[in-house]
Structure 1
């Protein structure tokens, strides 16, 4: 490549890069810790409590069935010597079937829990997204990054809008409640 071509290419690259660099210098960026926001907004706390209660109820149910199966196995073990091989095999197969059903119930509960969590959190996440957009527009932010998933290694705490999002979310709920008509 000739010197003239190199200089022309460098000049072209600089002419394209300077406006981008100048606008990047004016670009405002903030970040938000969505996990913190989800755990600290009032609706998030309430949703987490409802989910935890639901999970605890399911776990108690599964624990109760598991205890009954253990007792059934102990009884089978104690009575095994008095049973014929055929009856013993039949009882063991029935116990194994019950264990498999309980394992399937546990897996189904896990899937239900994930689905229930998604249903509970979706409206909250949508509202948080709206609040973040409003803050970004108001403060003329070019980007709002999610702290954990964005790959941010370091950022000034002054660029963290998490607490502002939490306050705006909780205050918007109170405003809506104040404006709602009262029942008579």
Structure 2
């Protein structure tokens, strides 16, 4: 039995057992569409806009380099017949090397973007979790499920806390945007007995 089948069977068993347990013990539950909350809270919108600007700038840079490489390839193709075999091979090798470097640069940019997204979203996610916990405590909810990852297929809208989480989150003071990772150089350690400047 595959892991997916086991998880599906477990989710099905829980979906049958939880309503029975809830009715027996009068447990209150709710759910949140986390992706929607992340996209609609103001800090999430700001983070996504910041990430998109970075991605657009990097894409523009990659596009410009691709155009230069395409032009260099066309020039090489036009002039190949007039070149010596050695020169043609050398220029083709150099062009191939530049193409590989551009592909590596694109991969590095994607990895950096993923890392930057994690760094920008981590404090927002922590804050959302805190908002959800406060709402759950206030309303006496025993469980709050994430709509997509919990296996929840259907939930009555009266148990959807997403709008309330968004409103409560946006009522909090705005998060300070983290500085880019490059500017987060650690300060040099100073000895306790070092003279003050």
What's the TM-score bracket when you normalise by the shorter of the two chains?
0.7 to 0.9
Contact 2:22-2:28 at 8 Å conserved across structures: no
Q: TM-score, normalised by structure 2?
A: 0.76
Q: Which has the higher helix share?
A: 1
| 1:151 aligned counterpart, secondary structure | coil
| 1:123 aligned counterpart, secondary structure | helix
Shift of 1:173: 2.2
| 2:151 aligned counterpart, secondary structure | coil
Shift of 1:23: 6.9
2:99 paired with 1:80: no
Shift of 1:24: 4.4
Question: 1:24 and 1:84, CA in 2 relative to 1: closer, same or farther beyond 3 A?
Answer: farther
Q: How far apart, in 2, do the equivalents of 1:144 and 1:71 lie?
A: 56
| 2:114 aligned counterpart, secondary structure | helix
Q: Residues 145-172 of structure 1, C-alpha deviation per residue, up to 9 Å, x if partnerless?
A: 0001011111100000000000000011
| 1:31 aligned counterpart, secondary structure | strand
Q: How far apart, in 1, do the equivalents of 2:36 and 2:21 lie?
A: 33
| 2:173 aligned counterpart, secondary structure | helix
Quote the residue 1:28 is aligned against. 28
Question: 1:21 and 1:36, CA in 2 relative to 1: closer, same or farther beyond 3 A?
Answer: closer
2:113 paired with 1:118: no
Q: TM-score, normalised by structure 1?
A: 0.82
Q: Aligned pair count?
A: 158
Question: 1:22 and 1:88, CA in 2 relative to 1: closer, same or farther beyond 3 A?
Answer: closer
Quote the residue 2:149 is aligned against. 149
Segments of 4+ in structure 1 off by > 6 A?
Answer: none
| Structure 1, gaps ≥5 residues long | 1-19, 177-184
Shift of 1:25: 3.9
RMSD: 1.9
